[in-house]
Chain A
Amino acid sequence: MSAPVNHEPVLQRFPEVEWDEEFGTLIVPVAKAAEVATWLRDDESFRLDYCSNVTGIDYLDREFKEKIKNEEGKTETIIHKDPARMEVVYHLYSMEKRTGPLVMRQRLERDKPEAQSLTAVWRSCELQEREIFDLYGVNFSGHPDQRRILMWDEFEGHPMRKDYVEPFDYEWEPTPHDEILEKHQKGKVIF
């Protein structure tokens, strides 16, 4: 494995950035994302010039049960709550220094996911952010060409979301003429 990147200087430079110990990732506030990313790319000690992987994760409201032993020796169930959120994950490497990866996240509201596009910092985000927009419905502000990429343009919904329900028939569309149009206007839909 290539040498890991020390994340401490990022936390010192940007006090808003948090470090998630469990997954080993930087959590960057959306408003600061481009600034932090540019600094990571240009700073001499990091030079993370290569953004390998960009992806989204959708978290619904979830509960985890964990069994632990308390002081009296009895097993107790603790319920951890995992709030609903949307995340955009970036895996950063340095081609110059041959180090990496450093994982960076933007954490977003699930109801209205608004992220900052990093395409201006790393070109490799261009198609991958379009894919996240397509499959997760995350809106990237500042993206040069945000359109659907894998699904067709008329498609409704975002299929990678955890609560996505697929329609009965993708291909079905009302053919608006003659009898069928009349029935359709009356509200009778034929499958």
Chain B
Amino acid sequence: MTAAAPNYELIQQDGLETSLLEVSMGPHHPSTHGVFRMDVKLDGETVVDLKPVFGYLHRNHEKLAENMSYLASMPFTDRLDYFNSMTNNWAYALAAEQLIEIEIPERAEYLRVIMSELTRLVNHVSLVGFFVNDLGALGTPLLYAFREREKILDLFEQASGARMMCNYFRFGGLRCDVPEGWLDRTREVVDRFPKFLDEYEKLLCENEIILSRTQGVGNLSKELAVSAGITGPMLRASGVNYDIRKVDRYGIYDRFQFQVPYSKGDVGDCYDRFMVRMLEMRESIKILNQALDGIEDGPIMGNAGKVFKPAKAESYGRVEAPKGELGFYLVADGTPKPYRFRVRPPSFINLTVLRDMCIGQQVADAVIILGSIDIVLGEVDR
């Protein structure tokens, strides 16, 4: 708690005594993207104090995973951040693959990259839609975004059998190969995507209402962002060039040419966060084009053995999920079940600074600031 809230109960205003108003926003508020509550203390329209309250969707995912075999928790990871099941799968597979020696076939590595970049497009495009929805542009921009998202979800369905709960990754590869003609269809979707982005950018990026509502709102300084463990687009909007795809180069990300968009300033506001996501989609398309060019036929599953039973060890695997750093920490004790299974959820930790960003802002801006953090309650509550 660095930013200090003024501690006063009664305020003298023009000789009249008024008091602070405490408002409970949520848990069923349309702007909270799920069951999330903000206890807001208001001085007129200005936010004086804010406490996030969550846990309504808590199902103790970690305890469940500790009571079943390693592979059995793979479908459960889909339910963490239900927008991005592919990257969740990858983070878990990455942590488990560190426990044993295993070689992942080339084609599987390429498909992993393709799937996770498609996921990034899905997440960012729907986030921008929801964000503009929060600003009051009801419906239209969100439905434009969902139209594009639907095309990618169709691709996921053709490859894995499910639109959102894909459960597609396995330790050492993938569950099944993509069907015939899938890569061509993907290429078609990827080729059309920039046209949609052009249109979307023209609509939104220089829109006067968006500019005046988001610029200078929800400022987050570089120092606080680093110290508070903020990751993903939100960190890069605050001026830190840190992308795990570039730092760790997990999978085969070292083979692709792409740039990491980040803000030049020391302070990031809601508009920066919005723009970083718009630019990141362009970079994802670059990666997708290179991956679709480079992919070749071959096996999709390495030799992982029938029973996954690692020796006593621990591992921490992390990937750059669309929302930030998603990490899985596993402690193995020689049995087929993990002794400790921990998810490091990006949207949960990004909420740390919600209070700092909201204090001093208008109550209507608190809604936008929450929207710009990009949380999914399935992941926050686990």
Contacts and interface: CB of A to CB of B under 8 A. Distances in A.
Contact of B55 (A49, A122, A149): A149
Given A95-B242, A160-B63, A123 B342 contact: no
A122 B229 CA distance: 8
Nearest to B339: A57
A51 B351 CA distance: 15
Interface residues of B, number: 41
B60 A159 contact: yes
Interface in A68-124: 89, 91, 95, 98, 101, 103, 122-124
Contacts of B331: 57
B224 interface: yes
B249 A123 contact: no
A151 interface: yes
Interface string B50-67: 000011001010110000
B322 to A, nearest CB: 17
Contacts of A50: 226, 229
A124 B102 CA distance: 33
A126 B63 contact: no
B327 A151 contact: no
Looking at chain B's contact residues, the main secondary structure is mixed
A139 interface: no
Interface string B34-71: 00000000000000000000110010101100000000
Contacts of B224: 123
Contacts of B344: 52-53, 55, 91
Contacts of B228: 122-124, 126
A151 B226 contact: no
B1 interface: yes
Contacts of A2: 247-248
A144 B356 CA distance: 14
A8 B319 CA distance: 28
A1 B1 contact: no
A89 B318 CA distance: 16
B247 A123 contact: no
Looking at chain A's contact residues, the main secondary structure is loop
Contacts of B318: 52
B289 to A, nearest CB: 26
A171 interface: no
Nearest to B328: A53
Nearest to A124: B229
A53 B352 contact: no
A50 B225 CA distance: 9
A152 B229 contact: no
A64 B332 CA distance: 13
A30 interface: no
Given A95-B240, A127-B351, 12 more contacts: A23-B313, A52-B344, A55-B340, A64-B334, A91-B329, A98-B242, A98-B247, A123-B228, A123-B229, A124-B228, A124-B230, A151-B58
11 contacts: A1-B248, A23-B314, A50-B229, A55-B344, A57-B331, A89-B329, A123-B353, A124-B228, A127-B352, A150-B381, A159-B63
Interface of A: 1-2, 22-23, 49-53, 55, 57, 64, 89, 91, 95, 98, 101, 103, 122-124, 126-128, 135, 144-145, 148-152, 159-160
Interface of B: 1-2, 54-55, 58, 60, 62-63, 224, 226-230, 240, 242, 247-250, 312-314, 316, 318, 325, 327, 329, 331, 334, 339-340, 342, 344, 348-349, 351-353, 381-382
